[in-house]
Amino acid sequence: MNKTSQFHPEPLYDVSNLGHVELYTPCLERSIRFFVDVYGLDLVSTQGDSAYLRAWGDHDLTSLKLTAAKDAGVAHIGWRTMSNQALDRRVSALKAYGIEGQWLDGDVGHGKAFSFIAPSGHRMELYHEAEKYVPMPDKKPYLINQPQKFSGRGVAAARIDHINILTHDVVGLRNFADQTMGFKLREHLVPGGQGEEVGAWMSLMNKAHDMAITKEPSKGASGRLHHLAYAVENREDVLRAADIFMENDVFIEFGPAKHSRTQGFFLYVYEPGGNRIEVFSGGLHIFTPDWAPLQWGTEEKGRSTAWGLGVPESFHKYATPNVAVPAADELTRAAAFAALSE
């Protein structure tokens, strides 16, 4: 029997993938310029105070919504279901769990969605119907199994990959995600092998993680974002991204290096609005049906990075909205670093 869930007799595949994320930014125009010119996304639409973007490898019309707001952070996280029936089943499970929520008519790129607030305070939505991207002639790919022509602009982020959110109760949130949506726990971190769990990596199908949950360091905070990640095809693309960020005065917080958990090759930067954004490649894939959740602890070489690179303190402390406010308007290299080390 599949050991990755304590709630389902057999593995549940009703939720398919991370469909889209809405981020808040205090400087919408600069955030758009970062995501388009440097990160390499395409701007699909603007509506009021929001902009909709997509990566060249995303199949749906849009995977990122940027909305002007006073503070950075994640507005909501959209999980796409396998079908409308699967959507109904998951909504029933949420209600059975005691979650209040409401149906929304939809947004640019997708149809009706069930919106709810997870126990961690993060707004999420489940939906199935999405608009497939149809390229205009100048964006048509040479290969028909690719949604869009590869432009190679900037980092050329290829597709939305995963999100990392903070919570005071890691175990509670991962049980919720498992029980209601079928997220499979793949790895978790319990420093010293006992005491509190401070990280959990969960996935929907073959990936090592679609959602990571890590311990919220600030007492009063709720619903905060650690990072949003898009994938690129290989490690050389991550190294190339580092050069692109360097040339464009984007603050590089951490990486490129290899994580121990997930074995992903990572690079973290801050977009102008302050949200931490990752360029991600590789990592392990899970094909065996009897993957049991792996518990990491210091006695088991529980370092965050495979090759021994130390984790910057900001990586454990900084999140958005930033309850310990950095110099929000100028997150370029030196200024941001100075702010972080205060």
For residues 277-306, which are near a second copy according to CB under 8 A? 282, 284-285, 287-291, 294, 296, 300-301, 303, 306
276 sits near a second copy (criterion: CB under 8 A): no
Total chain residues near a second copy (CB under 8 A)? 81
Per CB under 8 A, contacts with a second copy among 178-217 are 187, 205-207
Tokens of 89: 């089943």
Task: Give one DSSP letter per residue of 215-271, joined into a string.
Answer: E--STT--S-EEEEEEE-SSHHHHHHHHHHHHHTTPPEEEEEEEBSSTTEEEEEEE-
Residues 194, 229: Cα–Cα separation, whole Å: 30
For residue 321, cis peptide bond before it (omega within 30 degrees of 0):
yes
33 sits near a second copy (criterion: CB under 8 A): no
Compute φ and ψ for 138, nearest 5 degrees: -75, -5
Q: Which of 83, 92, 311, 324 binds a second copy (CB under 8 A)?
A: 83
Residues 132, 137: Cα–Cα separation, whole Å: 16
Per CB under 8 A, contacts with a second copy among 131-160 are 132, 141-146, 149-150, 152-154, 159
Question: What is the DSSP code (8-state) at residue 281?
Answer: E
Q: Which of 54, 76, 80, 174 binds a second copy (CB under 8 A)?
A: 80
333 sits near a second copy (criterion: CB under 8 A): yes
- Least Å distance, CB 92 to a second copy, is 16
Residues 16, 2: Cα–Cα separation, whole Å: 18
105 sits near a second copy (criterion: CB under 8 A): no
Lay out the site mask for a second copy across 226-265 (x = CB under 8 A, - = otherwise).
-------xxxxx-xx-xxxxxx-x-xx--xxxx-xxxx-x
Q: Which of 6, 47, 84, 92 binds a second copy (CB under 8 A)?
A: 84
Task: Give one DSSP letter per residue of 129-169, joined into a string.
Answer: -BPBP---GGG--SSTTSSS-----TT---EEEEEEEEES-
13 sits near a second copy (criterion: CB under 8 A): yes
Tokens of 295: 């518990």
8 sits near a second copy (criterion: CB under 8 A): no
Per CB under 8 A, contacts with a second copy among 34-73 are 59-60
